[in-house]
C-alpha cells in the first residue's frame, strides 16, 4: 500500500515561505489520513477521498479556493480512473459544488461518464450534491487585481492498495482568467490516466499537458515495458521540446513511486506507511 499526492506548484518568487510551510504541513496531514483510509478501502475509493481533502483545503486551486475565470465565474474539473477496470469518469467546468471529485466518482457507474458544464451541475444536484460556493476572498482579490499568478494548484492522488490495484484522481479550478468554455487537462486522459500497470496524475498548464499527452504516454510506456523512471524521462524530454510546463506523480504495479516536474517545484508528498517524502 502506497500513495502519492500533489497540490500543484510552489514558486519562491510568487509565494511566501509561510505558504510553503503551510502546504508541507497540509500535504503531510492529508497523506497520512489518506493512507489510514487505504488500510480498509480500495485504491479507487482512497484517491477520491484524498482529493476531496485537498479540495477542501483553500491552499489549493481545486474545490474551495479554485481560480476564477475571466468572466468572474469559477468552473471546476475533476476526473477519476480505476486502473483495474480502466474506466474513467469526470466532470468538466462544473459550477457551485463543494467536491467535484465526488461527482466524478458517482459517474463511474453511468454509461455516460464524462459530463460538462450545466449537464454536470444538473446531474450533481439530482444526485444529492448541494449548491456550494468554492470562492475564497483571496481569489477574488487576485481576480480583481488581474493577477494571473495565483500559483498552479491542481490536486491529485495516485494509490496502490493491498490487492495491488491502482487508481488515480485529479481535480482543478483551472489556470485562472480562462476564456469561459476552456477545457482543462485534469478531466482528460492526458492529465489523469491509469491501467493495471501504472497510474499518473498531472498538474501544470493544461494546454501543454494535452499537447504532450503526458499521463497517457507515461502509462503506455510502462505498460510496454519501460521502467517508470525511463517513461518519465522520455515523456518530460518531449514536454521540454514544446517548452511545456507540467508536473506528474505516479505509481506502477510493483509499487514504485515517481514524480517529476518540468519547472520547479511541484508540491507533492508520498507515504508508504513508513517513509514519508515531501517537496522542499
The binding site for substrate comprises 182-185, 203-206
Q: Is 82 helix (H, G, I), strand (E, B) or coil?
A: strand
154 is catalytic: yes
Q: Is 185 in the site for ligand ASP (CB under 6 A)?
A: yes
26 phi and psi, to 5 degrees?
-65, -45
Within 13 Å and on the Cβ side, how many CA atoms surround 45? 10
Interacting positions 191-220 with ligand ASP (CB under 6 A): 203-206
Residue number, 154 or 235, with CB nearest to ligand ASP? 154
| Residue of 20, 30, 83 whose CA lies nearest to 270 | 30
Which of 65, 83, 100, 153 is in the footprint of ligand ASP by CB under 6 A?
153
Residue number, 46 or 203, with CB nearest to ligand ASP? 203
State the catalytic residue, choosing from 46, 154, 188, 216: 154
DSSP at 87: E
Q: Is 65 in the site for ligand ASP (CB under 6 A)?
A: no
What is the contact mask toward ligand ASP in residues 163 to 182, using x (rule: CB under 6 A)?
---------x-xx-------
Q: What angle do CA 15, 6, 45 make, to 5 degrees?
A: 145
| Residue of 105, 104, 192 whose CA lies nearest to 155 | 192
What is the smallest separation between the CB atom of 167 and ligand ASP, expressed in angstroms? Answer: 19
Q: Is 63 in the site for ligand ASP (CB under 6 A)?
A: no
CB 229 within 8 A of CB 258: yes
Residue number, 84 or 95, with CB nearest to ligand ASP? 95
C-alpha cell at 265: 517545484
- Count of residues that bind ligand ASP according to CB under 6 A: 15
Q: Which residues are catalytic?
A: 154
Amino acid at each position: 500500500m502506497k500513495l502519492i499526492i500533489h497540490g500543484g506548484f510552489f514558486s519562491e518568487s510568487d509565494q511566501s515561505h509561510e505558504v510553503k510551510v503551510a502546504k508541507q504541513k497540509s500535504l503531510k496531514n492529508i497523506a497520512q489520513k489518506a493512507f489510514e483510509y487505504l488500510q480498509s478501502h480500495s485504491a479507487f475509493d482512497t484517491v477520491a477521498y484524498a482529493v476531496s481533502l485537498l479540495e477542501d483545503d483553500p491552499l489549493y486551486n481545486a474545490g474551495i479556493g479554485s481560480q476564477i475565470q475571466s468572466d468572474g465565474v469559477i468552473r471546476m474539473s475533476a476526473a477519476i480512473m480505476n486502473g483495474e477496470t480502466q474506466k474513467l469518469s469526470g466532470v468538466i467546468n462544473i459550477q457551485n459544488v463543494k467536491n467535484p471529485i465526488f461527482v466524478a466518482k458517482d459517474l463511474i457507474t453511468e454509461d455516460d461518464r464524462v459530463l460538462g458544464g450545466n449537464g454536470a451541475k444538473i446531474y450533481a444536484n439530482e444526485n444529492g450534491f448541494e449548491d456550494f460556493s468554492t470562492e475564497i476572498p483571496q481569489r477574488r482579490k487576485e481576480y480583481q487585481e488581474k493577477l494571473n499568478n495565483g500559483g498552479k494548484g491542481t490536486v491529485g492522488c495516485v494509490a496502490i492498495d493491498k490487492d495491488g490495484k491502482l487508481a488515480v484522481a485529479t481535480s482543478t479550478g483551472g489556470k485562472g482568467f480562462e476564456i469561459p468554455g476552456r477545457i482543462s487537462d485534469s478531466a482528460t486522459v492526458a492529465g489523469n490516466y491509469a491501467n493495471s500497470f501504472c497510474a499518473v496524475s498531472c498538474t501544470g498548464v493544461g494546454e501543454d499537458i494535452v499537447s504532450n499527452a503526458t499521463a497517457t504516454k507515461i502509462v503506455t510506456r510502462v505498460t510496454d515495458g519501460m521502467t517508470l523512471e525511463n517513461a518519465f524521462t522520455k515523456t518530460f524530454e518531449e514536454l521540454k521540446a514544446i517548452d511545456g510546463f507540467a508536473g506528474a506523480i505516479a505509481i506502477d504495479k510493483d509499487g514504485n513511486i515517481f514524480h517529476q516536474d518540468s519547472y520547479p517545484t511541484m508540491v507533492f508528498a508520498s507515504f508508504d506507511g513508513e517513509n514519508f517524502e515531501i517537496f522542499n
